[in-house]
Structure 1
Amino acid sequence: MTGASLTHDPPDTSEAAFLGLLNTHIGILHKVTATYAWTPEDRADLAQDIRASLWAAWPMYDATRSFSTWMYRVALNVAISEVRRKTRIQKHHVAFDPTAHDVAAPEDSERVNESMQRLNRALDALDVFNRALLIMHLDDLSHRDIGEVLGMSESNVATKLNRIKQRLKTLFSAASET
């Protein structure tokens, strides 16, 4: 064949492209760090670890897939690994005292309203996997995207979300009765 070839241009894997996508989806980073780290210092450290992991994984990013889904997968894997690492350390060195930690709160707010405090307590009551599932649901990701990030079927996502919702209803109704 003479003339034009049938090849496609490769996706832009430059640092500028990465930073542009990261800045566009920075809310994911904030949600994950606020959900999995208790103090501002821990949130900053976790955010740095997530950014480093995203950059390290950037060459393997498949541009035919959603960047936000890929970013959630990397960010949650880093956050969950960090929680597990810290839990192992605490188990062997110091008894875990949940009252010794700050409740995750937005940095720009001096006072978190009561419903946000209740939601944070409910999130803290969930294991790391269910917490990840719930924050992606609250971020309006489809069951398909959540399943892709967490490696499960859409129907399993729906089932687990229904169980989490029932558990949260029970927790909230019990809290309002006291």
Structure 2
Amino acid sequence: MSRREQEEAFAKMVKEHELLIMKVCRVYAYDVHDRQDLFQEIVIQLWKAFPNFKGQSKVSTWMYKIAIYTAIAGLRKQKSFIRYSDPQQLPQDSVYVPYDETKDKQLEELYRAIAQLDEIEKAIVMLYLEGKTYDEMEEIMGISSGNLRVKVSRIKDKLKQIIKQ
């Protein structure tokens, strides 16, 4: 594959999976500018890894893995991403377009609760909400399926407790 063909294939892949990247950014960065920076960093890391992608897994699985690891690495480096903040102080903007006030409030409440989880818990809940199977989550996260089931159960309980507060 020529360099131009590779660039075109990559651009098409990113465009087709843009929402996947945006969801990761929404979970790990709460400010619009931080989301844009994280989005760019994820695309850079995807581009670096693209020549080594052999198609042994789904493109979305491969992209989630890189996006999540990039976001977590950014947090650990203490870049400009917010690790945790008082939920009342989090910005109210999101990619979500409101259409139902009740659902919008519930979604915002869920995002505020998710903001209080640690990096790994955020990744697991995001993949779970995306409808990923435990096998897909195992491939992305490198955590056994059985361990993931236990973590999901505990995360659900934790989110319920956070939302009740």
TM class by smaller structure: 0.7 to 0.9
Moved more, 13-22 or 161-170: 13-22
SS at match of 1:125: coil
Q: Does 1:55 align with 2:47?
A: yes
Given the alignment, which residue of 65, 74, 90 partners 2:66? Answer: 74
Which stretches of structure 1, 4 residues or more, deviate above 3 A after TM superposition?
Answer: 87-91, 96-101, 107-112
Moved more, 81-90 or 35-44: 81-90
After superposition, the Cα gap between the structure-2 partners of 1:154 and 1:160, relative to the gap in structure 1 and judged at 3 Å, is: same
CA distance in 2, matches of 1:29, 1:114: 23
Q: Does 1:115 align with 2:106?
A: yes
Q: Does 1:146 align with 2:121?
A: no
SS at match of 2:77: helix
Q: Does 1:85 align with 2:77?
A: yes
CA positional deviation for 1:169: 2.1
Query: Identity rate of aligned residues, in percent?
Result: 28
**Paired residue for 1:133?**
124
Q: Does 1:28 align with 2:20?
A: yes
Total equivalences in the alignment: 159
Moved more, 82-91 or 55-64: 82-91
Gap regions ≥5 residues in structure 2: none
**Paired residue for 2:9?**
17
After superposition, the Cα gap between the structure-2 partners of 1:103 and 1:82, relative to the gap in structure 1 and judged at 3 Å, is: farther
CA positional deviation for 1:170: 2.5
CA positional deviation for 1:79: 0.6
CA positional deviation for 1:63: 1.1
Q: Is the 8 A contact 2:98 2:104 kept in 1?
A: no
SS at match of 1:113: helix
TM value normalised by structure 2: 0.84
CA distance in 2, matches of 1:85, 1:138: 27
Query: Root-mean-square deviation (CA), in Å?
Result: 2.7
Q: Does 1:65 align with 2:54?
A: no
CA distance in 1, matches of 2:105, 2:81: 32
- Look up the equivalent residue of 1:165 and give its one-letter code: K
Structure with higher Rg: it is 1
CA positional deviation for 1:21: 1.8
